Structure 1
Amino acid sequence: MASDTFTGDRAATNEFLREMTAGMSHQERLDQTRWLAHMMDDKFSIPGTNFRFGWDAIIGLFPGVGDAVTSAISLLIVHHAYQAGAGPLTLARMVGNVGVDLIFGAVPLVGDVFDAAWKGNRKNMRLLERHLAKQAEKQRR
């Protein structure tokens, strides 16, 4: 019974994502991905330093729930890449970046420092940028 509920919740989430991102252009996907990466990885800075961190490190301070929430947000970038036609290898790398962030970020305190330094959302944004640049190059030929 619990698995039916989980499957139903996952289906509802997938449908919500499809409806929310339906009809977006590649540029709109890239703009949203850049915004998300900035908010999650680089929004704030420590005065007098070049060190930047985002909501990922802050929300991750809440044990268990925080890392699950930030991973769900990070998966939106992966969803955009999937919708933009990214290949399986690119998608696997992106999911791997989210997984590394989730696993290492879950370690109390040390994981929060890791979250601030890893910047998996920015890594995934760059993977999407590269994919879209290659796609644009193929279309120009």
Structure 2
Amino acid sequence: MNQRTARIDPRLFDRLPIGRDPAAVRARVEALEKLLERSFVVPGINRPVGLDAIIGLIPVVGDGIAALMGSWLVWEARNLGLSRWQITRMMGNVGFDALLGLVPFIGDAADLLFRSNTRNLRIIRRHLDRHHPGTVTLEPGSR
């Protein structure tokens, strides 16, 4: 299935492991990032968007909710034992995204270009790949 036809399985969160082990955390943060940043493709612009961009359309409140949801990734990273520098970078990504969202129209466009949750997932993946190599998963279609 390619990215244009990808759909979120409604049972996705029913199958997520509950636990503090690195494999369970990886599954949860990847699912949340997909929900927030790549839920579906908007026809015409052919770019994946998620709840972060849609919720961000609600003035002030939407960006606050999106920032809280993005902060959950930072919480998971903290529980994994990422360094203070990595946590600070992740909080900066969420904060910058939230500040951009406060600017009418520009903030909504920025949600399509500056994907703080994707950036934060990349930081978490790098940490997990280095410190917990058993949690590495292959993307569908990759070898």
Does TM-score exceed 0.5, indicating one fold?
A: yes
> Which residue in 1 is equivalent to 2:39?
43
TM-score normalised according to structure 2 size:
0.76
CA contact 1:54–1:116 (8 Å) conserved in 2: no
Q: For 2:110 and 2:65, how far apart are their aligned partners in 1?
A: 16
> Which residue in 2 is equivalent to 1:122?
118
Please, what is the CA RMSD of the aligned residues? 1.7
Higher relative contact order by CA 8 Å / sep ≥ 6: 1 or 2? 1
Alignment counterpart, residue 73 of structure 2, candidates 71, 77, 80: 77
**Which stretches in structure 2 are left out of the alignment for 5+ residues?**
1-17, 134-143
TM-superposed CA distance for 1:85, in Å, is 0.5
Percent of matched pairs sharing the same residue: 34
Structure 1 or 2, whichever has the larger Rg, is 1
CA contact 1:53–1:117 (8 Å) conserved in 2: no
TM-score normalised according to structure 1 size:
0.77
1:61 match: secondary structure: coil
**Which stretches in structure 1 are left out of the alignment for 5+ residues?**
1-21
CA contact 1:37–1:125 (8 Å) conserved in 2: yes
Q: For 2:41 and 2:88, how far apart are their aligned partners in 1?
A: 30
> Which residue in 2 is equivalent to 1:113?
109
> Which residue in 2 is equivalent to 1:90?
86
Greater percentage in helix: 1
